């Protein structure tokens, strides 16, 4: 079962790699591992004011995805939300859940088991490469 927790500094390199592979694969880049290697969508958001960072890890403690949430007063958004290719596993769907980010943006506890103030849409379908939501 996938566990959602706070992203840590030790996770950043792998979270960045997962993001590049997810977007690179989805967009058909010839070398997804190198896609967007000149852009920073992980390190710059981690620890930024008004931003929370979430990690999804599998039952063995391996990072399989991440999500970032930003809250500015009454405005909130999440993304990028990325996962690795986890189709066909118990993690499918739960790793790509935006619910902790939505709870955090609304001021509720962001950790699983808390009561959601707003229910996230189901993201239980999976693709061969990634599931993601992105907001600039």
Q: What is the CATH number of the domain that holds 85?
A: 3.40.630.30
List the domain range (segments joined by +) for residue 11: 3-105
Residue 117, in any domain of the structure: no
Residue 130 covered by a domain: no
Q: To which H or E segment does residue 75 belong?
A: strand 75-78
Residue whose token pair is 């790793």: 95
Number of separate domains in the chain: 1
pLDDT tens digits for 29-86? 999 999 999 988 899 999 888 889 999 888 899 998 899 998 888 888 888 888 876 5
CA 102 – CA 89 distance, rounded (Å): 24
Domain assignment of residue 40, yes or no: yes
Direct distance between the N- and C-terminal alpha carbons of the chain, in angstroms, rounded to an integer: 30
119 in a domain, yes or no? no
Number of C-alpha atoms within 13 angstroms, CB side, residue 87? Answer: 9
pLDDT in tens, 114-128: 444 444 444 333 332
Structure tokens at 3: 């566990």
Task: Tell me, yes or no, if the pTM score tops 0.75.
Answer: no
């Amino acid at each position: 079962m996938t566990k959602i927790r706070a992203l840590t500094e030790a996770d950043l390199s792998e979270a960045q790699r997962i993001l590049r592979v997810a977007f690179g694969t989805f967009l058909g880049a010839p070398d997804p591992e190198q896609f967007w290697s000149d852009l920073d969508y992980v390190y710059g958001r981690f620890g930024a004011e008004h931003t929370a960072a979430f990690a999804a890890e599998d039952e063995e403690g391996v990072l399989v995805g991440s999500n970032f949430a930003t809250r500015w007063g009454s405005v909130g958004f999440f993304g990028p939300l990325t996962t690795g290719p986890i189709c066909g596993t118990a993690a499918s769907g739960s790793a790509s859940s935006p619910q902790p980010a939505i709870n955090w943006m609304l001021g509720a506890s962001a950790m699983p088991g808390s009561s959601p103030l707003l229910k996230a849409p189901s993201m239980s379908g999976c693709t061969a490469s990634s599931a993601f939501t992105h907001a600039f």
